[in-house]
Amino acid sequence: MTKLPNIEQVGPQARIQAELVRLESQKKEFWFLIVFAGVVLLLGILSFFFPHRFWNADGLHVSLSPQVLFVIMVAAVLASLAYVRRDIEVRGLRLTNLQQYLASQEEQAASMVDAVTNVFTRGFLRDLLAGEISRAERSNRSLALIMCDLNNFKQVNDRYGHLMGDYVLSQIATILKSCVRGSDYVIRYGGDEFLILLPETDQIGGEVVRERIRIKVEEWDRSNRVGDLPISVSLGLYLHVTGQTPDKDVAEADARMYAEKEAAKRAALTKT
C-alpha cells in the first residue's frame, strides 16, 4: 500500500499546536539538564570534602580552589536551569491562552454563519448594521437594504418536507451571494427571509441588484422547479436615512417587501 504524504496544516491553530509540541520537547531536554546539574553538584560536593581523590594538584593550574570552582559551576548551571524553566513556562502559558482565545473566536465565527444557507445569521445583524450605518453617516455615503422573501416556500415544506425546503433555501442563498459584491452582506433574517446590506449603494444601484436577483431566481426556477410550485422572491429596497436606527431601517425594508408581495398577489388575482 502506498503511504500517503503528510499534509502540512496551516493557520494559527496549527502553528500554535506545533509550538506547543516543541515546548513539550524542550521540557524533556530540561530534565536532561536537571540530571546533568545533579551530577555536577554531586561531583562538586565530593570534591569539596575529598579534594585529594578528585584533583591532581600538578595537573590543574587555577587561581581558585577546586571547591570554589565547582560551586561557581553549579551555581551557573542552576541559574541557567531556573531561567530556562521560567521561559518555557511563560511561553507555554501564553501559547495556551492564545490557543483558547482562537478556539473561542472560531466558535463565535461559526455561530455567525447559518448552517443551512452558509450566510450570516441574524445574531450578527445588529452589530454589523450599526457599524455600516456609522460608516455611511461618517463618510456621507449611501447604504441600501434589501429584504428578500421566498414566495410559495411554505407549500414546499408542507408538500415535500423540510429537507427539500432546506435545499431551496441554500440554492436561493447561493443566488443572492452571486448577485452582490464581496463587500456586501447576505444575512438569513429568519425562516425564508434574507436581508442584504449594500454599503455605498444608492437607489439606482439597489434597483440593479434587485433586478439581478429577480432574473437569476426566475432562471433557477425554470430549470429546478419543485413539483408544480413556482419559486419567486419579493424584494423590498430601502435606503438608510441619517439618524435612523438599525431596527427602523430593517422595518422599512420589511414593509416594502410585504407591499411588493401583496401587490403581486393582487395582480395574480386580477389575472384569474
Kindly state whether residues 153 and 69 are assigned to the same domain.
no
116 occurs within a structural domain: no
Is residue 106 domain-shared with residue 167, that is, in the same domain?
no
Question: Residue 251: which CATH number?
Answer: 3.30.70.270
Are both 79 and 101 inside the same structural domain? yes
User: Do residues 202 and 153 both lie within one domain?
Assistant: yes
- Calculate mean pLDDT across residues 202-219: 95
47 compared with 178, residue with greater pLDDT: 178
pLDDT at 52 over 70: no
Is 6 among the domain residues?
Answer: no
Mean pLDDT computed over 61-84? 64
* End residue of a domain, out of 52, 81, 111: 111
Q: What is the pLDDT of residue 267?
A: 76
Q: Which of 64, 89, 111 delimits the end of a domain?
A: 111
- Per-residue pLDDT band for 266 (boundaries 50, 70, 90) equals confident
Quickly tell me which residue has 461559526 as its cell. 110
DSSP lists the bridge partners of residue 31 as none
Give me the pLDDT at residue 263, please. Answer: 85
Q: How confident is the model at residue 47 (pLDDT cuts 50, 70, 90)?
A: low
The dihedral through the CA atoms of 94, 100, 102, 108 has a sign that is: negative
Please give the pLDDT value at position 75.
72
| Shared-domain flag, residues 76 and 161 | no
2 assigned to some structural domain: no
pLDDT of residue 134: 93
Range of the domain at 33: 12-111
> Of 212 and 57, which is predicted with more confidence?
212
Handedness of CA 35, 37, 42, 46 (dihedral sign): positive
Q: In this predicted structure, what is the pLDDT of residue 106?
A: 56
Report residue 131 as a C-alpha cell: 457599524
Measured between alpha carbons, how far is 128 from 136 in angstroms, rounded to an integer?
A: 12
Residue 117, domain member (yes or no)? no
The tally of domains found in the chain comes to: 2
Q: Which of 111, 133, 152 is the last residue of a domain?
A: 111
Cell numbers for 124: 450578527
Query: Cα-atom radius of gyration of the chain, to the nearest Å?
Result: 35
pLDDT exceeds 50 at position 226: yes
Averaged pLDDT for residues 154-171: 92
pLDDT at 68: 63
Q: What is the dihedral of CA 91, 95, 97, 101, to 10 degrees?
A: 160
Residue 43: pLDDT over 80:
no
Q: Is the overall model pTM greater than 0.85, yes or no? A: no
Q: What is the pLDDT of residues 176-205, one digit of tens each?
A: 999 999 889 999 998 899 999 999 999 999
| Gap between the Cα atoms of 4 and 229, Å rounded | 49
Same domain, 200 and 247: yes
Same domain, 100 and 217: no
First-last CA distance in the chain: 68
Span 105-119, mean pLDDT? 73
Question: Which residues 6+ apart lie within 8 Å of 124 measured at CB?
Answer: 112, 187
127 and 54 in a common domain: no
Of residues 148 and 14, more confidently modeled: 148
Domain match, 100 and 226 both: no
C-alpha–C-alpha distance, residues 75 and 173, integer Å: 68
**Lowest-confidence region among 99-108, 159-168, 258-267:** 99-108
Assess contact for 167 and 231: CB atoms under 8 A. Answer: no
183 and 92 in a common domain: no
* Rounded CA separation 259/243 (Å): 24
Lookup: cell for 51: 579534594
Q: Is residue 144 part of a domain?
A: yes
Q: Are residues 127 and 201 in the same domain?
A: yes
Give yes or no: residues 234 and 256 share one domain: yes
Residue 101 to residue 98: CA distance in whole angstroms = 5
- The confidence score (pLDDT) of residue 124 equals 81
Please tell me the predicted confidence (pLDDT) of residue 123: 84
- Say if 5 falls within a structural domain: no
Q: Find the length of the chain.
A: 272
Q: Is residue 1 part of a domain?
A: no
Range in 27-41, 135-149, 164-178, 250-264 the model is least confident about: 27-41
In a domain, 220, yes or no: yes
